[in-house]
Chain A
Amino acid sequence: MKNLLAIFLGAAALAAQAEPMFRGDAAHTGLYDADGPREFHRVRWAFPTGNRVVSSPVMQAGTLYFGSDDGNVYAVDAATGRQVWKRSTKGPVPATPAVVGDTLYVGSYDGHFYAMNSGTGAMRWKFTTGGERHFEARGLHGMTPMAQTFFDPYDMYLSSPVVVGDSVFFGSGDGHLYALDRANGALRWKFKTGDVVHASPAYADGVLYFGSWDSYFYAVDAKTGQEKWRFHGGEDPVIHNQVGFQSSAAVVNGVVYVGCRDSNLYALDAATGKELWRVNNAGSWVITSPAVADGRVIFATSDSALFQIVDARTGRQIARQQGKAFMFGSPAVARGIAYQPVTNGMLEARDAASGELLWTFRTDASKENAGWALTAEGRFNTPMLFASSNGEAQIVAANKQFSTGSMFSSPLVANNTVYVGSTDGNLYAIE
């Protein structure tokens, strides 16, 4: 009897652990049942790659898995930071892998979606999509000449796969959401939207929830690929700045929470798509994927740099803290602490109830502050970023911003350690 209880408790503990996929589970709650550092002690190790680490790390059996924009997928020992294996693709890998059993799934900017042996990195199959691309538009963000098509430098993610049963689901720059047989990569169905899908599908009760840059948010039957409902976000036909779902949704208790570039955080009824409430952020994008914990929704904004906590039922504001720079990376919540990546090369730990700042980690690149991309306080130094009067000023500025070791990666919390990637090319283990 005692043994049975032990087995039951063991199973419960196992079930509560984060699954090795984006945001810790298929519903993308961003919750980690693990202790994380309440105070900053040290960087235990930093694992250097050849380019930006936008991908978020996931962990299975003491091994971390993540992608790098250097084109490799990495397996790294979580305790020591030593490389277990690396596997090259032919494009940046800013997506987060999912690991199920002994297989890792991830997409690359080379337009392929890969299944690899998680123990060795050996390729099991690859699926060819219609090709990857960044979101692009004429006169994007007000860049000139207005008739010129520009790619969006802030479209930095690729869709991270979610694995449910024997299927793997992911979005693509070709505008589709794909469902593949996870054993052999055979196409089960694909669902067409009107533009780039770089948000990651969340799954709950047989339905996939995801947004597209076509301004719509979709609910699709996971078995058949049939649309159940769609929700229309904001439009911006002139400079295309206030349009598109880049944020990945979280689904909790029958409610879908998702940010949008139209500057709203939306709560939608998962069954019908009916809007329950919205929090408007006055022109600031909501790129972060919200974390949902203890009846609260935690998210952050871009230009206004606000870290916010709202009531999950009503959207009523509980706490709002002023940050220093754009927040695109999604908060991870572990036992009362929210770990929030910031584009100025900092990781902030905040109290998940009040939003109060507990500690900050800053990359060397942020401290070095090449070209004074940041002010002395760590805010973006606008006059030094937009020095060019040419149309590509926004793209040039974004590259200067990213030179500070920007954190777009969503942190993983395990073993009193926060694991997070940076555009300085490192995956950090912070304790």
Chain B
Amino acid sequence: MRRAALFTLLSLAALQAAAAPPEGRWTGHARLPDRSLPVVVDLERDKAGAWIGSLTVPGLDVKGAQLDHIVVAGNEVSFASGNALGLASAGAGATFKASLDGTTLAGEMRQGGNAAPFTLKRTGEAQVDPASRSTPVANSTQGRWVGDYEMAGYPRHVTLDIANDGANMPKVDFVVVGKLTTKLPIDFVAEEEGMLRIESRPYGITLEARVTGDRIEGTLEQGPMEAPISLRRPAEKTT
């Protein structure tokens, strides 16, 4: 009986250790000169045991931005917020380095070459925002589509090739021919309830359109501009 009790106690201790900080929701502020910037960070381990997290900054349109480069070493925690607060590739993205002390995570936030102290308190369980995941498209959506649109007075021709790739993001070749020929890098592809969405984040271009039989009809958005677009199957060549 005593042995069982000891075992239970040890198991509980092990469980507590497994759920040890910095896992959780951390809420507080970064102290910018003349301004207090609210910051919410969610950190947890995924099924494989790797750290994942997301960042929310009310007032800066940042909600659930995926964290990267998360490092937890003892009481030291560091992470970055991708492109959520400036282009990481240009060295302007935000990075956070902090020390954990009980229920407080305090350290320094760097962004755009500036540095500010931040203090976060653990306020609950982690609520890491799931990353938006691409989905396979319907079988009937696969293949080549062609069409045209006009934006800012310039006509453009589009060729779109879509092919599912198992559980991965479908392979998409999205080529726009205007004055130049541009092959768009694609970050996101999904088809839900017949609505197809294809995003090229570096170019700020989104195709959002309904697939109906032999047509894909909807809009192509680039920044604040938007144009109607209609795609069709290319005519078969006859010999």
Give the interface of A toward B (CB within 8 A).
45, 48-52, 68, 70-72, 82-83, 86, 90, 117, 120, 122-126, 128, 368, 370, 424-426
Contact across chains for B195 and A83 when beta carbons are under 8 A apart: no
Quick check: which of B3-11, B15-23, B57-65 contacts chain A, the rest being far away? B57-65
Contact across chains for B61 and A50 when beta carbons are under 8 A apart: yes
Contact across chains for A51 and B195 when beta carbons are under 8 A apart: no
Contact across chains for B63 and A70 when beta carbons are under 8 A apart: yes
Contact across chains for B61 and A70 when beta carbons are under 8 A apart: yes
- How many Å lie between the Cα of A424 and that of B57 in the bound state? 10
Mask, B101-127, CB within 8 Å of A = 1, is 000000000000000000000001001
Is B129 interfacial (CB-CB < 8 Å)?
A: yes
Is B207 interfacial (CB-CB < 8 Å)?
A: no
Contact across chains for A90 and B61 when beta carbons are under 8 A apart: no
Interface size class of B (residues with CB under 8 A): 20 to 34
Contact across chains for A425 and B208 when beta carbons are under 8 A apart: no
Chain B residues whose C-beta falls within 8 Å of the C-beta of A72 in the assembled complex: 63
- How many Å lie between the Cα of A265 and that of B45 in the bound state? 55
Contact across chains for B59 and A425 when beta carbons are under 8 A apart: yes
- How many Å lie between the Cα of A125 and that of B212 in the bound state? 13
Further pairs besides A83-B64, A123-B195, A370-B36: 18, Cβ < 8 Å? A45-B124, A48-B27, A48-B40, A48-B56, A49-B58, A50-B61, A51-B58, A51-B59, A71-B61, A82-B127, A117-B192, A122-B193, A122-B195, A123-B197, A124-B193, A124-B195, A128-B219, A128-B226
- How many Å lie between the Cα of A117 and that of B194 in the bound state? 12
Mask, B22-39, CB within 8 Å of A = 1, is 000001000000011010
Is B221 interfacial (CB-CB < 8 Å)?
A: yes
Given contacts A50-B60, A72-B63, A425-B38, is CB(A83)–CB(B208) below 8 Å? no
Which residue in chain A gives the minimum CB-CB distance to B65? A50
- How many Å lie between the Cα of A68 and that of B62 in the bound state? 11
Give the interface of B toward A (CB within 8 A).
27, 35-36, 38, 40, 56-64, 124, 127, 129, 192-193, 195, 197, 208, 210, 219, 221, 224, 226
Chain B CB within 10 Å, residue with most, of A52, A70, A370, A424: A70
- How many Å lie between the Cα of A9 and that of B219 in the bound state? 49
Contact across chains for A86 and B208 when beta carbons are under 8 A apart: no
Chain A residues whose C-beta falls within 8 Å of the C-beta of B40 in the assembled complex: 48
Given contacts A83-B127, A83-B129, A123-B208, is CB(A50)–CB(B58) below 8 Å? yes
Given contacts A82-B127, A122-B195, A123-B192, is CB(A426)–CB(B58) below 8 Å? yes
Among the listed B57, B61, B64, which residue makes an inter-chain contact with A86, where contact means beta carbons less than 8 Å apart? B64
Contact across chains for A49 and B127 when beta carbons are under 8 A apart: no
Chain A residues whose C-beta falls within 8 Å of the C-beta of B38 in the assembled complex: 48, 424-425
The 10 closest A-B pairs by CB, nearest first: A425-B58, A50-B63, A122-B192, A50-B61, A70-B61, A48-B40, A48-B56, A122-B193, A50-B62, A123-B195
Chain A residues whose C-beta falls within 8 Å of the C-beta of B62 in the assembled complex: 50, 70
Contact across chains for A50 and B56 when beta carbons are under 8 A apart: yes
Which residue in chain A gives the minimum CB-CB distance to B125? A82
- How many Å lie between the Cα of A426 and that of B36 in the bound state? 16
21 residue pairs A–B, Cβ–Cβ below 8 Å: A48-B38, A50-B57, A50-B60, A50-B63, A51-B60, A71-B61, A82-B127, A83-B127, A90-B221, A90-B224, A117-B193, A122-B192, A123-B192, A123-B197, A125-B210, A128-B219, A368-B36, A370-B36, A425-B56, A425-B59, A426-B58
Which residue in chain B gives the minimum CB-CB distance to A92? B61
Among the listed A45, A68, A82, which residue makes an inter-chain contact with B63, where contact means beta carbons less than 8 Å apart? A68
Which residue in chain B gives the minimum CB-CB distance to A121? B192
Chain A residues whose C-beta falls within 8 Å of the C-beta of B219 in the assembled complex: 128
Kindly provide the distance from the CB of A90 to the nearest chain B CB, expressed in whole angstroms: 7
Chain A residues whose C-beta falls within 8 Å of the C-beta of B57 in the assembled complex: 50
- How many Å lie between the Cα of A425 and that of B59 in the bound state? 7
Chain B residues whose C-beta falls within 8 Å of the C-beta of A86 in the assembled complex: 63-64, 129
- How many Å lie between the Cα of A81 and that of B191 in the bound state? 28
Chain A CB within 10 Å, residue with most, of B57, B59, B192, B210: B59
- How many Å lie between the Cα of A70 and that of B60 in the bound state? 8
Which residue in chain B gives the minimum CB-CB distance to A370? B36
- How many Å lie between the Cα of A250 and that of B101 in the bound state? 53
Chain B residues whose C-beta falls within 8 Å of the C-beta of A117 in the assembled complex: 192-193
Kindly provide the distance from the CB of B195 to the nearest chain A CB, expressed in whole angstroms: 5
Chain A residues whose C-beta falls within 8 Å of the C-beta of B221 in the assembled complex: 90
Kindly provide the distance from the CB of B45 to the nearest chain A CB, expressed in whole angstroms: 18
Which residue in chain A gives the minimum CB-CB distance to B197? A123
Kindly provide the distance from the CB of B200 to the nearest chain A CB, expressed in whole angstroms: 15
Kindly provide the distance from the CB of A329 to the nearest chain B CB, expressed in whole angstroms: 18
Chain A residues whose C-beta falls within 8 Å of the C-beta of B193 in the assembled complex: 117, 122-124
- How many Å lie between the Cα of A124 and that of B210 in the bound state? 9
Chain B residues whose C-beta falls within 8 Å of the C-beta of A51 in the assembled complex: 58-61
Kindly provide the distance from the CB of A294 to the nearest chain B CB, expressed in whole angstroms: 38
Chain A residues whose C-beta falls within 8 Å of the C-beta of B195 in the assembled complex: 122-124
Chain A residues whose C-beta falls within 8 Å of the C-beta of B27 in the assembled complex: 48
Chain A residues whose C-beta falls within 8 Å of the C-beta of B226 in the assembled complex: 128
Chain B CB within 10 Å, residue with most, of A48, A51, A86, A117: A48
Given contacts A123-B195, A425-B58, A426-B58, is CB(A49)–CB(B36) below 8 Å? no
Chain A residues whose C-beta falls within 8 Å of the C-beta of B127 in the assembled complex: 82-83
Chain B residues whose C-beta falls within 8 Å of the C-beta of A45 in the assembled complex: 124
Which residue in chain A gives the minimum CB-CB distance to B190? A122
Kindly provide the distance from the CB of B112 to the nearest chain A CB, expressed in whole angstroms: 19
Contact across chains for A370 and B64 when beta carbons are under 8 A apart: no
Chain A residues whose C-beta falls within 8 Å of the C-beta of B124 in the assembled complex: 45
